[in-house]
A and B are shown apart, each in its own frame.
Chain A
Amino acid sequence: MAAIALDQVDKIYPNGVHAVRGVSLDIRDGEFMILLGPSGCGKSTSLRMIAGLESVTRGTISIGGRVVNDVDPADRDIAIVFQNYALYPHMTVAQNLAFGLKLRRVGRDEIDRRIARIAETLGIGELLLRKPRELSGGQRQRVALGRALVREPKAFLLDEPLSNLDAKLRASMRTELIKLHRQLGTTIVHVTHDQVEAMTMGQRICIMRDGIVVQAGAPMAVYREPVDTFVAGFLASPPMNLLAGRLEPLPHGGLAATMGGLSLALPQAQASLVHRHAGGEVIIGLRPEDFHLSPERGLAVDAHVVAIEVLGPEVILVASLGHPGNPEIMIRCPRGFTARPDERLTFYYDPHEVHLFDAATKRALARPSRRD
């Protein structure tokens, strides 16, 4: 087991592409860390640099306190699971599992013992004599995982291992990976572009964009306090609604976030933190799940129904806030909710859940520390 540390890491490819820019990240020993971001954000490159499959242009990477920039992948004692599994196509499952151990001169008996144990854990016992092409996607995925597990490395690097699986299988593999991590307690770095994976699996999420770490933290912390509109618009499904608006002073003091016919008075604590933006343009962030139908929490907002998407467990309402024709937003409503297009509804929004972002920099404006 080992901690992994990236310190001011840069990756510039020979063709000049600057894939990773000054990434610093401390992954604790035994931590389940998620690297999350859209494709091309540098998350896979970062993972491959940790594995040693890509060289580091600047900065240092250390595993277990040892700088590994110039250490061969074989000597880093890490295992990687690739997106497309990268099984050895000409070897049986058992041979695939044994290959790394054989190269490390592990004894035959020990190899057999470990394969038996892994096969049992992953439920691939009856597949041991088959070739990869005779396996389904999910089975291949398990074998790839088994090949990583059987080596008992210091850390696991997972490069979008679930993205080729169908939705149902992906959900069950998510749970299995979480269980596995709890059993083994080994450091895991998991790269994904799927925010559901990130939220459900990670102990911490590191969100990347354009080669830069935008925000790192526990899933709920990142969800609650996104540092900018990118993070706010990336996490959760449907993501936070982002609306261009203004910060207007109220006649009796205090501030309100306003946009086309809509005015949300900010709580005093928040207003005092952002008062220097008074009169200026801001981006207002409203979470779809923070709209309520009952008036006991929050301020009334008018919504003009555009469309309604019934998902089963919940209903997503597409509506314009304030005046009809304003930008459309998503509102998450409970099961059984119905509405007709063009209907005018009143929702209630908790002003403590209003997020404000600088219109120019897109960075979050200060918010009072949470009550709960």
Chain B
Amino acid sequence: MARTEIDRADARFGWMMTAPALAILFLVILFPVCWALFTSVHDYTLLNPHFDSFTGLENFRHAITDPEFRHSLRLTAFFVVAVVLLEFLLGFLVALMLNTVERMKPVYYGILLCPLLMNPVIVGLIWRMFLHPSLGIVNYLLGVVGIAPVNWLGSTKVALWTIVMVDIWHQVSFMVVLLLAGLSALPREPYEAARVDGANALQSFWHITLPLMLPIIMVTLLIRLIFAVRTYDLIYIMTRGGPGVSTDLVSYFIYRTAFVSLNIGEASAMAIVLMGIVLLLTAFLYRYMRSLT
């Protein structure tokens, strides 16, 4: 269809109205990304902060073959799967229970939302105090019931699971809230039809709730997954990647490469790799959500 003068005027007005927001977006998102891309193909360190030696894909090659980076990627994959799965199972269980509650629902909502409203740094600090090997309340309570104290953050075997647990405490409400919204939007009638058809509670859940919730479950899992990949604050506050490299998640590893090893070029390459992974997940999420409508 031919564009009329009114259409063109509308388009100009639209551009004018969005220009400030677009400019800010370019400045704070696109510029840093481009800068990181540019940096990732140079030998740029804080000891020699000049773009004077172009190295091509050398930083990428180095990063991908770096056993520590690969270790942190594997660790992150494990962390993400553990956190997302456990949070989903727990969150779905709580959402199912809350969905049947009729009285005092806002009170439960309020309590549940408390951790979610907290800054991850605060969460990390609180739990670091709770989990202190000798002064923390957790070990004290364990001692009361006769269980030997656990070195929550100091043991290479336990530390990652401790982080997983704290992350669950912090983020499970996100799952609960999203899944609960989905559950309460489900139609009531198919359940009544199923009851008359002879389905018990478990069969109703399996044959009706799960299939009807699948789109919401998928979206919730993917959003949570993308957020979990970026986990940084908890690690910085609670373990600094330690003990050893047992909680060295990839975001923290990149931070260390950039600001401890001062190798900005290679850190940028790693960040680009991570961004690629997150971008793939997001593209998948976007396409999935599009396919639902």
Contact = CB atoms under 8 A, between A and B. Distances in A.
A binds B: yes
Interface of A: 51-53, 72-75, 78-80, 82, 84-91, 99-100, 103-104, 147, 151
A74 B196 contact: yes
Given A89-B212, A103-B203, A53 B196 contact: yes
Contact of A53 (B190, B192, B200, B207): B192
Given A89-B212, A90-B212, A99-B207, A84 B189 contact: yes
Given A89-B212, A90-B211, A99-B207, A82 B192 contact: yes
Give the interface residue-count category, chain B: 10 to 19
B91 to A, nearest CB: 22
Contact of B189 (A51, A86, A100, A147): A86
A16 to B, nearest CB: 15
Interface in B197-211: 197-200, 203, 207-208, 211
B197 A151 contact: yes
A46 B196 CA distance: 16
Most chain B CB neighbours (cut-off 10 Å) among A51, A80, A90? A90
Mostly, the B contact residues are helix
13 contacts: A52-B195, A72-B195, A73-B196, A75-B198, A80-B192, A82-B189, A84-B189, A86-B192, A88-B194, A89-B187, A90-B214, A100-B196, A100-B198
B198 A104 contact: yes
A184 B237 CA distance: 73
Nearest to B200: A74
A88 B198 contact: no
B126 interface: no
Contacts of A90: 211-212, 214
B190 A74 contact: no
Given A88-B208, A90-B211, A90-B212, A80 B193 contact: yes
A78 B212 contact: no
A53 B199 CA distance: 13
Interface string B52-92: 00000000000000000000000000000000000000000
A100 B187 contact: no
Given A99-B207, A103-B203, A89 B190 contact: yes
Contacts, number: 60
A100 B195 CA distance: 9
Most chain B CB neighbours (cut-off 10 Å) among A74, A75, A80, A147? A74
A48 to B, nearest CB: 8
B201 to A, nearest CB: 11
Contacts of A80: 192-193, 196
A74 B193 contact: no
Given A74-B196, A91-B211, A100-B197, 16 more contacts: A73-B195, A74-B195, A74-B198, A74-B200, A75-B198, A82-B189, A84-B189, A85-B189, A88-B208, A89-B187, A89-B190, A90-B211, A100-B198, A103-B199, A147-B197, A151-B197
B196 A88 contact: no
A78 B207 contact: no
B212 A51 contact: no
B89 to A, nearest CB: 22
Contacts of A84: 189
Given A90-B211, A90-B212, A103-B203, A53 B197 contact: no
